[in-house]
Amino acid sequence: NFPTSIAYPFKESGYRTSFITGMDPTWENVLEGLSYQSFDTIIGRQNILHSIENSTTSAIGVYDEFLYEYISNYLDDAHDSAQPQFILALTTTNHPPYTFPENMNLPPLSDEWYTSPFLTGDKEVLHKYGLGAQYANRSLGDFLTWLKASPYADNTIVLVTGDHNVRSILDYDKVPTRYMCAVPL
């Protein structure tokens, strides 16, 4: 156990702690490691695919919209419990190889995206990365819209962050120094 585990203070305060991810939690021993970090439940790709009708997945994990639908259902199931919930969710869609659901209907990327002086690399990678960001944002936005209209709106805190910057498409010779290691929050 690490006393710095994100779940530890919640577990110690009586919360049910859950790690929910679109990936297979056995990857790189994530399941094994997190089981020692104050998580009561660790849920991954197979749980979501079996629980959400018509859910689909990439090579990396379940697409974000299905992960959020699973979390919505999970909150509904826990609604009658007096125990507060702490959920750490890890999405996987905006990760190489950048594949997305078949029915994804997003607006085209702006010209500014392709002409930004801060972006570099293969045009196809830039295109897929931009689509991934749009898809991830839309999926998160749909979830937050649902959450605001749900019974949980008044007692839920949502924090969204990334695990690293867009390192594969940034031109570090041109990007301002503060963005070289910046992660959105």
Residue 40's pLDDT is what?
96
DSSP calls for 66-118: HHHHHHHHHHHHHTT-SS-EEEEEE--SSSTT----TT---PPPPHHHHH-TT
pLDDT for 123 equals 84
Q: What pLDDT was estimated at residue 58?
A: 92
Tell whether pTM > 0.75.
yes
The pLDDT profile of the chain, 185 residues, written as one tens digit per residue, is 888 999 999 999 999 999 999 999 999 999 999 999 999 999 999 999 999 999 999 999 999 999 999 999 999 999 888 899 999 999 998 787 878 888 888 889 988 888 888 888 888 888 888 888 899 999 999 999 999 999 999 999 999 988 776 667 888 888 888 777 777 76
Phi and psi at 126, nearest 5°, equal -60, -40
The answer to whether 179 and 107 are in contact (CB under 8 A) is no
Closest CA to 25 of 68, 79, 81, 67: 67
Quote the pLDDT of residue 52: 97
pLDDT at 16: 96
DSSP output for 145-168: HHHHHSTTGGG-------SS--TT
Task: In whole angstroms, give the CA distance from residue 19 to residue 34.
Answer: 8
What's the confidence (pLDDT) of residue 167?
A: 65
CA distance 50 to 20: 14
Q: Which two tokens stand for residue 11?
A: 């577990």
Strands 85-90 and 41-43: unpaired
